[in-house]
Chains A and B, each alone.
Chain A
Amino acid sequence: MARAGTYPPDFRRDRVIYLFQILNGIGLGMLYFLLAVGLSVIFGLLQFVNFAHGAFYLLGAYLTYDLTQRGFSFWAAMPMATLIVAGVAAAIEALLLHRIYKLPHTFHILVTVGLALVIQELAIIAWGPLGGSVPAPQGLQGVVIAGDFIYPQYRLFTIAFTAVLAGLLWWLLEGTRLGAIVRGGSESPSNMALLGYNTMRINTAVFGFGAGLAGLAGALAAPIRGVEPFMGAEALSVAFVVVVIGGMGSYTGALAAGLLVGIVQSVMTTVWPEGARLMIYVGMALVIAMMPRGLLGRA
């Protein structure tokens, strides 16, 4: 048996490749978390199933593309796209979606699937069906080299950025008065109304906030994935997998599940490449079978 330090080069390389796949998986997982957390927040606080979530991701990516094409820097385009998506989503909630909150989930699905299709077609009309590329921002276009392996600087940035954002989100939702109001509005709207809070406004703000997070995920993903009109459907499916694995409405569950899905997908591309994507759904099925409320779902 070979001792440490005397492993053949292939064995050492195999071990290093798994380390890099885990690193890559963390990068993917943080993006998946950002994508899913908005969906989870909307479901957890509003009990609303939002199938238009992927469309808000698409909109965030396309707005970033559009703004950078118009000469804005990525650093300006990213927050602008996020705010525009949040605003559009809040307006849609105030005009349309709040009317169906009390109806069964099937109505939520019907209306939001229709909304997703409308947004997708509007994106085709506005930007054409061909798609496009968004360059990584200046200063993050290079790569980090470690031995035989390479990792893009921009992907490292997304890991760090999303980690900081995750901490801020947790603090906002769990450690501030604003978060307490939002959670109160979800648990007991009538009591919140008696305390003088406008629960309709709270709901609109929560929906806009959740959709804005999807828009931010789209903006962050644009330099990695580019933009194309059908990117929303793929994002929605990943977001649902993460939310189901993590537990509907659970913030920490979305973080844990996002990382788990990203790492499983990335490591499986080395272990069993053709089944890498399949394993995400196998994992979801196993979690549903063994833990119906998800990893950290509320009872």
Chain B
Amino acid sequence: MLDRRSFLTTSSLAALSLAAPGLLGRASAQGAALKIGVPVPISGAFAANGKFATIGAQMAAEEVAKAHGIEVSTLDLDTEGKPATAVRKVQDALAQDGIKLFAGGILSSESLAMGKEIERGGGAFMTTAGADEITGADCNRGTFRWSVPTFGAINQTVRPIIEALPDAKKWYTITPQYVFGDGLLNAAKAVFAEKGIEHVGNSYHSLTDKEFSGYLTNAIAAQPDVLLLLNFGAQSSDTLRQAVSFGLKQRMTIVVAWASGLEQFEALGPEIVEGVYFGAQYWHGADTPLNRELVARVREKHGFNPNYSFAGSYIISKLLLDAAVKGGSPEGAAVIPQLEGLKYAGLTGEEEIRAADHQVIKDYYLLKGKAKDAMADKDDFVDIVSSGKSFLSPEDSGCKMPA
């Protein structure tokens, strides 16, 4: 069975040999009946996420084409993780390729920028990015978001742990200082206040930090019962790796509120993951009909288990394409009404797209790392501890949807 690392290596070689990864997609987009743009970082620090996302979108396109007997193509747009590049690529795709459907935007900053541009261009955009503003203060008619925002992520991780560990009264947080981190921190503080938890300290860090030993020393000094990590991606992996080397797993409970799931666990390894709690948008072991089907198909086609980047991109692409088929056009005016209020059997169970703010109401998972000898296979890193839905109302999220 081809593993994920080998698959990505092979795809990287193929991309390299063609000089530019976008060329394949662009070539295949010519003359297609239904096209969807996939604006994700294919190069730079988030390239791994972007590459999985393009494969997920491609799989959704193939399925929609087969189900409806139409021609569907994807166009990969390398945002490089930069909002300015993302906007330029989306503008080009709107103007030159006539694309109206866009599924992507892994980073909040690029998603916020692209959403406005796509709405202005008469298209529809669905993203997996996390910042509350996407379906909050900066919501717009053309933008939809599948992932659970920071409020739900905290409520579905912090609350169950407080219930499970009633003696853990002192919590310490490590937070990246930008809008996403502050969203998580504010939500955590609200839960602490409600539950009588003592927030014994917080260390902010910059988005460029790689060394967290100083912050961990601060945390050790505060003697918390729980260390709550509110950073994301490589930074949360670095913090966790260094926390484990400081022996903190034996001294306190460690929680990563927003993990990227399988890809992160693979990079960390089971020795570090064991015993740590993780909040996650998706887990391939979730027992839902659509997820079981997806896992089986991805294993058969690609030889690996879908991770969050893959699954998120797959479902948002599929929702957009199905809506375009049903609406009879990829134009935003036809697609948006199909999506608003839609209830469907999703990857996390029953999911619904809330019409008022275009937020998908779905489950968020609390996972706990297993011991290496308890893993049934190489990807069986965690058990699902709990899952559930927690969302602010559209009014409380600050969304005033333009008419």
Which residues of A are in contact with B by a Cβ distance under 8 Å?
13, 16-17, 20-21, 24-25, 27-28, 121, 124-133, 135-136, 142-143, 148-152, 154-155, 223-226, 228, 230-231, 234, 265-270, 273-274, 276-278
Contacts and interface: CB of A to CB of B under 8 A. Distances in A.
Interface stretch (B100-108, B238-246, B374-382): B238-246
A17 B219 CA distance: 10
Interface in B21-63: 44-45, 47-48, 51
A20 B217 contact: yes
Given A24-B213, A128-B8, A274-B206, 15 more contacts: A16-B221, A20-B221, A25-B214, A126-B9, A129-B47, A130-B263, A130-B267, A131-B267, A150-B220, A226-B268, A230-B234, A231-B210, A234-B210, A276-B205, A277-B208
A228 B221 contact: no
Contacts of B242: 224-225
Interface of B: 4-6, 8-9, 12-13, 16, 44-45, 47-48, 51, 177, 203-206, 208-211, 213-215, 217-218, 220-221, 223, 234, 237-238, 241-242, 245-248, 251, 263, 266-269, 271-272
Contacts of B251: 150
Contacts of B220: 148-150
Contact of B237 (A28, A148, A224, A226): A226
A116 B128 CA distance: 32
Nearest to B201: A273
Contacts of B218: 17, 269-270, 273
Contact of B221 (A124, A148, A152, A268): A148
A69 to B, nearest CB: 10
Nearest to B6: A128
Given A136-B245, A234-B208, A131 B223 contact: no
Contact of A24 (B204, B217, B241, B247): B217
A149 B272 CA distance: 21
Contacts of B12: 124-125, 128-129
Given A234-B210, A266-B214, A143 B247 contact: yes
Nearest to B269: A133
Contacts of A126: 9
Contact of A265 (B214, B221, B241, B246): B214
Nearest to A268: B214
A277 B209 contact: yes
Contacts, number: 139
Nearest to B5: A128
A150 B248 CA distance: 9
Contact of A21 (B217, B238, B248, B263): B217
Closest 8 CB pairs of A and B: A269-B214, A129-B48, A143-B247, A128-B5, A274-B204, A131-B267, A266-B214, A133-B269
21 contacts: A28-B213, A121-B16, A126-B9, A127-B9, A128-B8, A128-B9, A130-B4, A133-B268, A135-B271, A136-B245, A150-B220, A150-B248, A155-B213, A224-B245, A226-B237, A230-B44, A234-B210, A266-B213, A266-B214, A270-B217, A273-B205
A143 B271 CA distance: 16
B340 to A, nearest CB: 36
B8 A269 contact: no
B204 A129 contact: no
Nearest to B50: A129
A130 B266 contact: yes
Nearest to B48: A129
Contacts of A230: 44-45, 234
Nearest to B206: A277
B290 to A, nearest CB: 26
A274 B205 contact: yes
Contacts of A21: 214, 217
Contacts of A131: 234, 237, 267
Given A230-B45, A277-B209, A133 B217 contact: no
Contacts of A148: 220-221, 223
Nearest to B214: A269
B307 to A, nearest CB: 10
